[in-house]
Chain A
Amino acid sequence: MTTAELMDYAEVITRFDPVLGLEVHVELSTATKMFCGCSNRFGGEPNTHVCPTCLGLPGSLPVVNAVAVESAIRIGLALNCEIAPWCRFARKNYFYPDMPKNFQTSQYDEPIAFNGYLDVTLDDGEVVRVQIERAHMEEDTGKSLHVGGATGRIHGAEHSLLDYNRAGVPLIEIVTKTIEGTGERAPEVARAYVSTLRDLLQALDVSDVRMDQGSLRCDANVSLMERGAAEFGTRTETKNVNSLRSVERAVRFEMTRQAAILASGGSILQETRHFEEASGTTRAGRRKETSEDYRYFPEPDLVPIAPSAEWVQELRGTLPELPAERRKRVQAEWSLTDLELRDLVNAGAIDLVAATADAGAPPAEARSWWMSYLSQQANARGVDLGALPITPGQVARVIALVADGALTNKLARDVVDGVLAGEGEPDHVVETRGLKVVSDDSALYAAVDEALAANPDVATKIREGKHAAAGAIVGAVMKATQGQADAKRVRELILTRCGA
């Protein structure tokens, strides 16, 4: 695709309003699959996490995983959805080799959760409320490997190899209502929505939410309407969007592509497109000869699900503090400005600071450590803050040692360096690196006396009441003790010696 076929983004915005719809598939991290007792572990030798049911063998039958239903309800509740008092599974009929029964057991017009919303905070602090249409349960497909032709691509392959370990893994599909009025921020909103949803699912502990492994997948529906128009344009659905950054890029690309077509008098084909990570572009999928007709009907092998109000209430009670609430609470408790909060959020530091505070450190100290020295170390190493090899407990211990006067700030940074270098717990690092503050007054007096003797002029000034001159002696003592003295104490001793 050449740039001529794309419209400049700024121009897109002046002429069109983007409309988004996002479908996110989440693989649940249950022990077993949706409808059978096979392991739901990622990977494994091909076709080793399979049984008659997930292989679709003749005569096999599905039985619903209780934890998957609980997870679906908890996700629904966390997304402020209504929970259906009665719902069913349906069969979605279409043929595809990675689907062992040639129908997907899914939910159709009776999703377990519907009519919710998720508040999404953009980088500048603006909050966008994304309406949730539904969250429903379904099963994943197997995986195909394409052999021959171009590098694993389906096109030109001579044959394919199928592994059904993933077939039947529980999925929750979360579908937004159309997202309108976001204007130029549409790509950012899309990304922030998926990111916020990911954090939420992580807090619920229902999924690994690894976009790189496919346990969180996003399909982006994008259409444009002329500014001021009343009707939506034709949409495309972009699949294969495997990172947060790709969500933003895919939406932006589709906007510029569709705008160029519309501006030249063309029309948009309603089609499935595939995002190409390397080029940041989307490309059309194969055209189907017949329009898809899924022939949905209620799954006769499963009975309805009717969550009682008591059960839903009980599950509501199991919801952890969700990211948005947590942020609000933390901001109040730690007296943060909006900007400080956002920095913490963007750095992914809230949980780390909170855990450090929970381990006994004053929140302000904890925040300062994570946001300055540790952030610098993370940047230097090119890793996320959370990936640094130091625990909140260790950071809290270092802060406690400083508060006790056992370490100076300079020594504390050395201790942290030691921990990061894999030298063990903070106390061990203090021991092995010999980083203890010299707190023995007699030892310090010896150093003070030595420094005063070496600088008689300065000593005289101090005795004459020029206390500011003590700084030079402090420096000399600190140098002599290799920084292991508490400068404040040293200063007190100097003044005492000089009778000041």
Chain B
Amino acid sequence: MTELTRLDAADIAAKIAAKEVSAVEVTQAHLDRIAAVDHAVHAFLHVDTERALAAAKAVDDNAAAGLPAASPLAGVPLALKDVLTMQGAPTTCGSKVLENWQPPYDATVTQRLQAAGVVILGKTNMDEFAMGSSTENSAFGPTRNPWDLDRIPGGSGGGSSAALAAFEAPLAIGTDTGGSIRQPGAVTGTVGVKPTYGTVSRFGLVAFSSSLDQAGPCARTVLDAALLHEVIAGHDPLDSTSIDAPVPPVVAAALEGANGDLKGVKVGVVTEFAGDGYEPGVAEAFTAAVDQLRALGAEIVEVSCPSFDLALPAYYLIAPSEASSNLARFDAMRYGLRVGDDATRSAEEVMSLTRAAGFGPEVKRRIILGTYALSAGYYDAYYGSAQKVRTLIMRDFDAAFASVDVLVSPTTPTTAFKIGERTADPMAMYRADLCTIPSNLAGNAALSVPCGLSDGLPVGLQIMSPALQDQRGYRVAAAYEVARNAAQGGPLINRVPELEVAH
């Protein structure tokens, strides 16, 4: 492993800006790393070698011409979750139904990354259509956790989190519908942020659950996540749910937090997210993190959010319902897989056969569940009630944020589980998102920052902020990151085992 792949994004950008290293060298180093370790990790579905090098060269040419850098992240490589469209490369969403599909347009996030001079290395693996918590639901095989290759890297964005933990990329983009950025961040010892719903454009993000999906930054440090956050966030007229407001000052907040002073900050511990089902090691790491926050000067109080107990059931009605409708378009007519067209079968039959062959079991389960929940006669009991629960959860957040600045909880109840351990038990799998779901239902900001190890596996601290107050979480996370690094002998990510390198 070369030194370059160990660097944070901010450091890489600084070295490129200072011409200590070229963007092409940085990109090549990461491409080499991918070539060396991805056979074991399988973080990437597609590596865009030539265009990544061309993009890096453009950054170098720009600098050579004496022009200012396009952004503070110009020349820094990034891994893009394969749920965002990018012309010239496939967008598969981890599904056979979209195998080899080349979108004729770029997602707004993709455009912003490119405009910022960020070098997109390729597309990362994910649970099919972002449905899952382990990346085992990818049609193209699971991604493995660099901390233990027999374990899951979280999901749905396991490719992005694993790419960071394997030093294949210093930055990644994830999408978070029920925790798909934060839970993979937690189990890989990386930082994952779900911004406030409506602050990062969903245009070009292949929808799983439209009212919950939100793209966000993934990185190895809080500052890197903040830098990436400011590149991708902002109003987009192509997304009707995009909020026309200034991007919260997250970089400034991360820098302020790094001073290590949280005096005057009130932190609420969500009492519902503890007890049975929480691994002891996770609970210990979380308690230690709360103590650390107190030591930094924060005032710690316990806060009850009683409706959070209904968040998981509400989520597993709303998300499948929206998904059943969003995924109806995969019908073999205009793009993607077509199966069984033998010139005698009807379009209807070909649709059914294609969808049967193209979707994996979890996607089918959720489509059927969503179809059920929206059916006449069941709507009020299921979808309608779930939307009422959503209101209750928003009220709980409002009440909590009336008395505290941020809320904290473990990001996920357990550390990375073994591949295959929960595939036969959907409900057990669903519980991985227990703590992350409320912020998707309410739309507020939430992030996960590494907070120690349990039996050698990373644990994540979730910090939730009010909507459009994303900077609060960054400040607390940055302060905590500095304190933990000092207390635990450097960044946690440095303790990830060396991967076997292919020659």
Q: Say which one of B113-121, B329-337, B417-425 lies at the interface with A.
A: B329-337
Taking a contact as CB atoms under 8 Å apart, the answer to whether A57 and B240 are in contact is no
Residues of chain A within 8 A (CB-CB) of B240 are: 61-64, 301-303
B322 at the A interface (CB under 8 A)? yes
Taking a contact as CB atoms under 8 Å apart, the answer to whether A297 and B334 are in contact is no
Taking a contact as CB atoms under 8 Å apart, the answer to whether A58 and B331 are in contact is no
Interface residues of A in 87-129 (CB under 8 A from B): 91, 93, 95, 97, 100-103
B458 at the A interface (CB under 8 A)? no
Taking a contact as CB atoms under 8 Å apart, the answer to whether A300 and B211 are in contact is yes
Q: Say which one of B199-207, B273-281, B302-310, B480-488 lies at the interface with A.
A: B199-207
Taking a contact as CB atoms under 8 Å apart, the answer to whether A61 and B239 are in contact is yes
Residues of chain A within 8 A (CB-CB) of B91 are: 58-59
Interface residues of B in 342-376 (CB under 8 A from A): 343, 347-348, 351, 371, 374-376
Closest to B101 in A: A58
Taking a contact as CB atoms under 8 Å apart, the answer to whether B375 and A293 are in contact is yes
Taking a contact as CB atoms under 8 Å apart, the answer to whether A57 and B103 are in contact is yes
SS class of chain B's interface: helix, strand, loop or mixed? Answer: loop
Taking a contact as CB atoms closer than 8 A, the residue among A160, A162, A295, A302 that contacts B325 in the complex is: A295
Contact with A along B423-465 (1 / 0, CB 8 A): 0000000000000000000000000000000000000000000
A333 at the B interface (CB under 8 A)? no
Residues of chain B within 8 A (CB-CB) of A267 are: none
Tally the A-B contacts, defined by beta carbons under 8 Å: 101
Residues of chain A within 8 A (CB-CB) of B210 are: 300-301
**Minimum C-beta distance from A376 to chain B (A):** 55
Taking a contact as CB atoms under 8 Å apart, the answer to whether A91 and B103 are in contact is no
Taking a contact as CB atoms under 8 Å apart, the answer to whether B98 and A58 are in contact is yes
**Minimum C-beta distance from B198 to chain A (A):** 10
B84 at the A interface (CB under 8 A)? yes
- The answer to whether A61 and B325 touch (CB under 8 A), given A55-B334, A97-B333, A302-B240, is no
Interface size, B (range) = 35 or more
Residues of chain B within 8 A (CB-CB) of A56 are: 329, 334
**What separation, in Å, do the CA atoms of A293 and B324 have in the docked complex?**
14
**What separation, in Å, do the CA atoms of A95 and B327 have in the docked complex?**
11
B85 at the A interface (CB under 8 A)? yes
**Minimum C-beta distance from B459 to chain A (A):** 33
**What separation, in Å, do the CA atoms of A293 and B371 have in the docked complex?**
10
**Minimum C-beta distance from B355 to chain A (A):** 10
Closest to B211 in A: A300
Residues of chain A within 8 A (CB-CB) of B333 are: 97, 162
**What separation, in Å, do the CA atoms of A63 and B351 have in the docked complex?**
28
Residues of chain A within 8 A (CB-CB) of B502 are: none
**What separation, in Å, do the CA atoms of A462 and B223 have in the docked complex?**
117
**What separation, in Å, do the CA atoms of A159 and B344 have in the docked complex?**
9
B246 at the A interface (CB under 8 A)? no
Task: Select the residue from A95, A97, A300 with max chain B CB neighbours within 10 A.
Answer: A300
**What separation, in Å, do the CA atoms of A159 and B328 have in the docked complex?**
21
B227 at the A interface (CB under 8 A)? no
Residues of chain B within 8 A (CB-CB) of A159 are: 343
B468 at the A interface (CB under 8 A)? no
**What separation, in Å, do the CA atoms of A100 and B379 have in the docked complex?**
25
A158 at the B interface (CB under 8 A)? yes
B88 at the A interface (CB under 8 A)? no
Interface residues of A in 50-84 (CB under 8 A from B): 52, 55-64
B71 at the A interface (CB under 8 A)? no
B412 at the A interface (CB under 8 A)? no
**What separation, in Å, do the CA atoms of A58 and B85 have in the docked complex?**
8
**What separation, in Å, do the CA atoms of A95 and B371 have in the docked complex?**
13
Taking a contact as CB atoms under 8 Å apart, the answer to whether A59 and B85 are in contact is yes
Interface residues of B in 205-225 (CB under 8 A from A): 205-207, 209-211
Residues of chain A within 8 A (CB-CB) of B322 are: 297, 300
Residues of chain A within 8 A (CB-CB) of B204 are: 59-60
Taking a contact as CB atoms under 8 Å apart, the answer to whether B98 and A295 are in contact is no
Taking a contact as CB atoms under 8 Å apart, the answer to whether A59 and B206 are in contact is yes
Taking a contact as CB atoms under 8 Å apart, the answer to whether A91 and B325 are in contact is yes
Task: Select the residue from A102, A160, A296, A297 with max chain B CB neighbours within 10 A.
Answer: A297
What are 14 inter-chain pairs, A to B, with CB distance below 8 A? A55-B334, A58-B98, A58-B103, A58-B206, A59-B103, A59-B204, A61-B202, A63-B239, A93-B374, A97-B331, A293-B376, A295-B324, A301-B207, A302-B240
Given A160-B347, A300-B210; 15 other pairs, CB 8 A cutoff: A58-B329, A59-B105, A61-B240, A63-B237, A63-B239, A93-B328, A101-B328, A103-B325, A158-B343, A162-B334, A297-B374, A297-B379, A300-B209, A300-B322, A301-B241
Residues of A within 8 A of B (CB): 52, 55-64, 91, 93, 95, 97, 100-103, 158-160, 162, 293, 295-297, 300-303
Residues of B within 8 A of A (CB): 84-85, 91, 93, 98, 101, 103-105, 107, 202-207, 209-211, 237-241, 321-322, 324-325, 328-331, 333-335, 343, 347-348, 351, 371, 374-376, 379, 383
